[in-house]
A and B are shown apart, each in its own frame.
Chain A
Amino acid sequence: MSEHPANLNIPASPSSPAESAAGSLPSMLDQPALAPQRSPLSGEEHPATCPLSIHDMTVAYHRKPVLWGIDYNAPPGKLIAIVGPNGAGKSTLIKAVLNLVPKISGEAMFFGEPYRRQRGRVGYVPQRSSVDWDFPVNALDVVTMGLYRQIGWFRPVTKKWRQRAMRALVRVGMQDFARRQISQLSGGQQQRVFLARALTQDADFYLMDEPFAGVDAATERAIVDVLRDLRSSGRTAMVVHHDLQTVPEYFDEVLLLNLRLIASGPVSEVFTPENLRATYGGKLALLDQVGHRMTMSGEKG
């Protein structure tokens, strides 16, 4: 929260300042003269400045498609919300790009390279419900697990690593709970422990699966602070988010998802009632209110 970006061990990716290249990409695609829009030149499709570029990705469980033909380039240095109804494939999107579930077709590149070559620069915060919180470890142990890959095969966890994990716990305001068994933490505190585990990696790009689900107010603030902290040091975060009301407040960009990509872009342009209705199928009357409020605040601003 109060941690200054200068305290971070690794400065934001050295290869990223080529913003002009990223800026030129959309304009290039706009030109109809370049007949095949999806040029075979992979360098353009998956620029190194783009934290995540997904190209024509389809995912299916058994025979039922869960995600269909996703194309998306994540803008660097932004906070991006992934929004969509239950079963829209939000978590699957994250798992598929991380190769945790198989893709039927398409590809996902991180900073222009496949995931296996950029693991160190990508942090992952899974859903809280994905693990057994009765596991015999304390908060600090869980956070230290974020460093296991850096520690390497067969090497024991030394004090040096635990101190690094402790620093991550401080960032989410959980230092007082370091020695507490994880089942004795509240839901929000567990979520902060998960966030801290990903922060130990000091990644340039974070993927978070519903970090705001079922958390207390203090945790919500702590997570938002961390996200803003990340952004101010030039990092990017893509967050599965359920609460439509807070999307404009917390995020810069939004990705509307329902089996396919409905729309993506800056919140002010894309987070419209029409797009939301297209995403949620107009089932929710509440949506109209939210959308209405959105347009009102948009007009004001």
Chain B
Amino acid sequence: MTARQQFTRRTIVCVAAILLSVPAGTPATAAESDSGTLLRVLTLQDYNTRVVLSGTLLLGVTAGLVGTFTLLRRQALVGDVVSHAALPGVAVAFLAGELTAPGSGRSLGWLLMGAALSGTLAVIAISLLRRFTPIRPDAALAAVLGVFFGLGTALFKTVQELPSGNQAGLQTMILGSAATMTAGDVRLIATAAVVTLLVTLFLFKELSILCFDEQTAAAQGWPVLLLDLCLTGLVVAVTVIGLQSVGILMVALLITPPSAARFWTDRLSRMAVLAIVIGGCSAVAGCLVSATVPKLAGGPTIVLAGSLCFGVSLLFGTERGLLLKWLRQRRNTNRIGRDDLIRAMFEIVESRIAQVDEPSAKNLSAIAVQTDELLGKRHWSRQRLLGLIARAERDAMIRMDSDSGWRFTRDGARIARDTVRNHRLWELYLITHAHIPPSHVDRDADFSEHGLDPQAVEELEQLLAQKAASGVPPSPHPVESGELPVGSRE
């Protein structure tokens, strides 16, 4: 069972990976005129392409891993604030660099340092606001983001009006442009990404307990504040090194891959691995697309590739995908409908047999029940009832004979007996043990599985076992006579 599940899971992961490569393939039509470039890019013949791609890949991988913890710590928006708050830092760093030594302001390391600094300032501002004012956390985030981003845009305007600022290429910090990265830039980004990745991997266990149960982590003696700072620092680091290639939308690369991964798995370790794969794939795919399609900004393409993965996971995820949820819901509805139908039919049959004989499987299937009788048994519409009957007939639980009445098949009779027995045990249980809130008992569970021990089940069965021959106890409450107005609707 588990092996098969794992297999399906892996297959679906593979399918997702293939789907991921779609965005890389789509520009084939768009850039046909330039098929030489496309081929060169896809086969990684250019040294420059290789360098840029590997840098972006590392970035995507790191963002996926760090994002997993950010998401689980419910701090998804912190990355957003950091990337927006990085802007004034970039502008100030540029201005300061130009003032001290004209031309030096454009060095990436210098700019990213400014970005990291103002990003950190923003995070500190958020935690101060949370701590010392009654402002709610979301308002604190919004306020800080607004202030820093406003400052950033104002400063950018100033920078652009400077004679040297116009061509500074600071604009790439907003939309991101992997292609403009030099080998030196990539080396810087790759080093930072690898360091961030390693720190996160080493702190995997520590960060997971911080995210799951901060109180217990503190009680165990972990320095919770320090770990929290570490995680925030990692977010700042990833966001800042992503500014050049992804831009201000870096939060998407941070949060989308782990969110997508969560649809496929319920284990943290697998979620992290999947987030890494999805993050890496979207970064590479987006990068390739923007390299082959002229005038397509790199950052948004990467983000869109990630969003595509998210969409696919949302629909087809094997653990909590929408399709799966819908299927489960339908199965559940069907089962409840089936139980209702066979219970209604059983009760009619039972009331007739009681005058003659004991309800054994054989004579259970001897009695025919009319559709209208069933209709009067419960508040269901004729349409719904006919649907349920059709399904039950298809499942060979009931059959129609020449006398135009429904009878249980042999299997149907057995299932009906079990269903009714379980249902009546439950009712009795709820009546006799009324002090136990029903919410604490799992209705779907088999009696012996959990909630009730075998002894209690035995006790209940004895309580109910007045008519032991059929194994089906009488209903603990009067059964409805089935004389409700025909055609009553739900």
Interface size on B, residues (CB 8 A): 35
**Closest Cβ of chain A: how far from B336's Cβ, in Å?**
20
Min CB distance, A163 to chain B, in Å? 17
Q: Which residues of B contact A217 (CB under 8 A)?
A: 436, 451-452, 456
Known contacts A138-B266, A214-B440, A218-B450; is A156 also within 8 Å of B219 by CB?
A: no
Closest 7 CB pairs of A and B: A181-B266, A149-B220, A124-B219, A131-B213, A216-B440, A136-B268, A154-B202
Are B213 and A126 interface neighbours, CB within 8 A? yes
29 pairs from A and B in contact (CB 8 Å cutoff): A95-B215, A100-B218, A119-B221, A124-B216, A124-B219, A130-B215, A131-B212, A136-B72, A136-B266, A136-B271, A137-B267, A138-B266, A142-B212, A145-B209, A145-B213, A148-B209, A149-B222, A154-B202, A154-B206, A156-B204, A157-B205, A179-B2, A186-B450, A187-B440, A217-B436, A217-B456, A218-B450, A218-B452, A218-B453
Minimum C-beta distance from A215 to chain B (A): 7
A216 in contact with B436 given A136-B262, A145-B213, A189-B450 (CB within 8 Å): yes
Contact at A216–B205, with CB atoms within 8 Å?
no
Per-residue 0/1 for B118-146: is the Cβ within 8 Å of any A Cβ (1 yes, 0 no)? 00000000000000000000000000000
Contacts of A215 in B (CB 8 A): 440
Chain A residue at minimum C-beta to C-beta distance from B204: A156
Q: Which B residues are in CB contact (< 8 Å) with A189?
A: 450
Cβ-closest chain A residue relative to B74: A132
Given contacts A122-B219, A136-B266, A137-B208, 5 further A-B contacts (CB under 8 A): A100-B215, A126-B219, A136-B72, A148-B222, A188-B440
Measured between C-beta atoms, what is the minimum distance from B217 to chain A in Å? 8
Cβ contact within 8 Å between B268 and A137:
yes
Which residues from chain A contact B211 at a C-beta distance below 8 Å? 135
- Determine if A67 is an interface residue (Cβ-Cβ < 8 Å): no
- The reply to whether the CB of B381 lies closer than 8 angstroms to some CB of chain A is no
Q: Nearest Cβ in chain A — how far from B448, in angstroms?
A: 11
Task: List residues of chain B with CB within 8 A of the CB of A116.
Answer: 221
- Asked if residues B219 and A136 are in contact (CB atoms below 8 Å), the reply is no
Q: Is B427 an interface residue (CB 8 A)?
A: no
Residues of A within 8 A of B213 (CB): 126, 130-131, 145
Instruction: State which residues 245-290 of B face A: CB under 8 Å.
Output: 262, 265-268, 271
Residues of B within 8 A of A99 (CB): 218
Expressed in whole angstroms, the Cα–Cα distance for A141 and B262 within the complex equals: 17
Residue of B203, B268, B271, B437 touching A154 (CB-CB under 8 A): B203
Most buried by A among B72, B215, B267, B268: B215
Residues of B within 8 A of A197 (CB): 216
B204 surroundings in chain A (CB, below 8 A): 156
Given A148-B220, A156-B205, A215-B440, are A135 and B72 also a contact pair (CB < 8 Å)?
yes
A residues 113-168 in Cβ contact with B at 8 Å: 116, 119, 122, 124, 126, 130-132, 135-138, 141-142, 145, 148-149, 151, 153-157
A130, A136, A215 — most chain B CB neighbours (10 Å): A136
On chain B, the residues within 8 Å of A186 by CB distance are 440, 442, 450-451
Selected from A142, A151, A181, the residue in CB contact (under 8 A) with B205 is: A151
CA distance A148 to B219 in the complex (A): 12
CB distance from A67 to the nearest CB of B (A): 18
Task: State the CA gap A142–B213 with chains docked (Å).
Answer: 10
Count of chain A residues with Cβ under 8 Å from any Cβ of B?
39
Q: Which residues of A contact B (CB under 8 A)?
A: 95, 98-100, 116, 119, 122, 124, 126, 130-132, 135-138, 141-142, 145, 148-149, 151, 153-157, 179, 181, 186-189, 197, 214-218
A188 to B453, CA, bound (A): 14
Q: In the assembly, what is the distance between CA of A132 and CA of B215, in Å?
A: 12
CA A151 to CA B220, docked complex, whole Å: 12
The 8 Å CB contact of A145, one of B212, B441, B451, is B212
Instruction: Give A137 to B219 CA distance when docked, in angstroms.
Output: 20
Q: Which of A119, A126, A136 meets B215, CB within 8 Å?
A: A126
Give Cα distance in the complex from A157 to B278, angstroms: 25
Query: Which of A122, A135, A149 has a CB less than 8 Å from the CB of B212?
Result: A135
Which residue from chain B places its CB closest to the CB of A217 in the assembled complex? B436
Looking at B204, B219, B221, B441, the one whose CB has the most chain A CB atoms below 10 A away is B219
Chain B residues closer than 8 Å to A131, beta-carbon distance = 212-213
Q: Looking at the assembled complex, report how far the CB atom of B262 sits from the nearest CB atom of chain A, in whole angstroms.
A: 7
Note all chain A residues with C-beta closer than 8 A to B212: 131-132, 135, 137, 142, 145
User: B residues 313-362 with Cβ under 8 Å of A?
Assistant: none
Give A124 to B214 CA distance when docked, in angstroms.
13
Return the chain B residue nearest A127 by Cβ. B215
Residues of A within 8 A of B268 (CB): 135-137, 141
Say yes or no: A153 contacts B219, CB within 8 Å: no
Complex Cα distance A217/B267, Å? Answer: 29
Q: How far is the CA of A136 from the CA of B265 in the complex (A)?
A: 8
Q: Which residues of B have CB within 8 Å of A126?
A: 213, 215-216, 219
By beta carbon, the residue of chain A nearest B262 is A136
Residue among B209, B218, B441 making CB contact with A216, cutoff 8 Å: B441
When distances are taken between beta carbons in the complex, the residues of chain B under 8 Å from A137 are 208, 212, 266-268
Select which of A119, A136, A141, A218 is within 8 A of B220 by beta carbon: A119
Q: How far is the CA of A135 from the CA of B265 in the complex (A)?
A: 11
- Whole-angstrom distance between the alpha carbons of A16 and B203 in the complex? 37
Nearest-neighbor residue (CB-CB) of A201 within chain B = B220
| Cβ-closest chain A residue relative to B2 | A179
Cβ of B451: which chain A residues have Cβ within 8 Å of it?
186, 216-218
B451 to chain A, nearest CB (A): 5
**Alpha-carbon gap, A148 to B271, bound state (A):** 20
Nearest opposing residue in chain B for A144, CB measure = B205
CA distance A137 to B205 in the complex (A): 12
Contact with A along B410-452 (1 / 0, CB 8 A): 0000000000000000000000000011001110000000111
Measured between beta carbons, the chain A residues less than 8 angstroms from B222 are: 148-149
Docked complex Cα distance between A275 and B212 (Å):
39
Complexed CA–CA distance, A130 and B216 (Å): 10
CB closest chain-A residue, reference B218: A100
